Structure 1
Amino acid sequence: MFAAYNRLLLRRPIVTNMVTTGFLFGAGDLSAQAFFPSQDQAKFNFKRLARTIIFGGVVFAPIGVRWYSLLGKINVFRSTLGNSLVRVAADQLIFAPFIGIPLFYSVMACFELNPNPVQEARTKLEKYWWTTLRNNWTVWPAFQLINFALVPAQFKLLAVNLFSIGWNCYLSYLLNSSTGTVLKEEPDQIMM
């Protein structure tokens, strides 16, 4: 199965990553709905799952493929560790705060078909951006250091997608919770 996946990646990297990323983003939302159902959610929300799958497959995957390709070209040091540290810094100081997190909340606000998606996106970013970024910094730098140092280039996005089943569960929970907080006491407390 892994060999077949590798052949698909080599032949059609964008499409293969789109399908894989959509599926794994969906797994994160499925987990969130199963383990952390919203108080106002009486039954499973298939529209929410579809929005998450479409975001992962159609929006995030093509950007992710290009981002990891760009990061792979960073070779400022002779050592793998030095280059991996620079890649982690770029990923966590550029992509996460200014591309990944804003993209998620903005696109999801549009996918929810709210009457004013721009205002809804702004509201979600104001409400969740800092909490999400802080939580991101508690889990992603260590994982990305391992990913950039040890995982072959064509599998970096797959590794991220597998790891992010839990992260996507968290994002889905946060986005769809009625309070908009992970912990009841303080909106900016760290979940993990």
Structure 2
Amino acid sequence: MLRWYQAKLAKSPILTSSITSAVLFGSGDVLAQQAVDRRGLEKHEFARTGRMALYGGAVFGPVATKWFGILQRHVNLNSTLTTTLARVGCDQFLFAPVQLTAFLSSMAIMEGTSPLEKWHHSFLPAYKANCMVWPIVQSANFAFVPLELRVLTVNVVSLGE
């Protein structure tokens, strides 16, 4: 299964990462609504799940694929440790705030609410939570996971976040 997936990534990295992200963003929302919030099928917000899948496939998958490639090509220092730390720093202080802003804005637009209000209400708590989890995850991701599997890794970890 992994070889098949890697072959798909090698042939069409953006498309494969987009489909992966759409499926896992949608699955993560189903888990959040059913396993965490215990809404039950009759109270499940299917539109929310659709918005998450759309964002994952249309935005996160392609953007994260390109971002990880940029880091791989352009952030290379004297050792694996310093390279990993520099990539984590770039990811946390450049990519995360931009990606989080894009996510919050996209969700607000798809919900028919104000992107600015959503950002003011949600950005800081979400970014603080991000900083508690992702530096550790991305340290392992950048140090040990092959480039082509990094988007998948982030998506899988996000299921439990």
| Alignment TM-score, normalising by the size of structure 2 | 0.93
Name the counterpart of 2:150: 156
Query: For residues 27 and 157 of structure 1, what CA distance do their matches in structure 2 show?
Result: 15
Map residues 6-155 of structure 1 onto 2, 5 A cutoff: 6-37=6-37, 43-97=43-97, 99-112=98-111, 114=112, 117=113, 120-155=114-149
Structure 1 position 32, deviation (Å): 1.1
**CA, structure 1 residues 130+38, in 2 after alignment: closer, same or farther (shift >3 Å)?**
farther
Q: What is the one-letter code of the residue matched to 1:57?
A: G
Identity among equivalent positions (%) equals: 36
Whether the 8 Å CA contact 1:74–1:83 is kept in 2: the answer is no
What is the aligned length?
160
Q: Distance in 2 between matches of 1:128 and 1:37?
A: 19
Cα distance, 1:3 vs structure 2: 0.8
- Gapped runs of 5+ residues in structure 2? none
C-alpha distance in structure 2 between counterparts of 1:132 and 1:27, whole Å: 20
> CA deviation digits over 1:111-140, x for unaligned, max 9?
11x2xx4xx111111011110011100000
Structure with higher helix content = 2
Shift of the alpha carbon at 1:36?
3.5
Contact 2:85 2:139 in 1 (8 A): yes
Q: Distance in 1 between matches of 2:75 and 2:120?
A: 36
- Contact 2:75-2:87 within 8 A present in 1 as well: no
The normalised TM-score by structure 1 is: 0.79
Q: Which amino acid is 1:145 matched to?
A: S
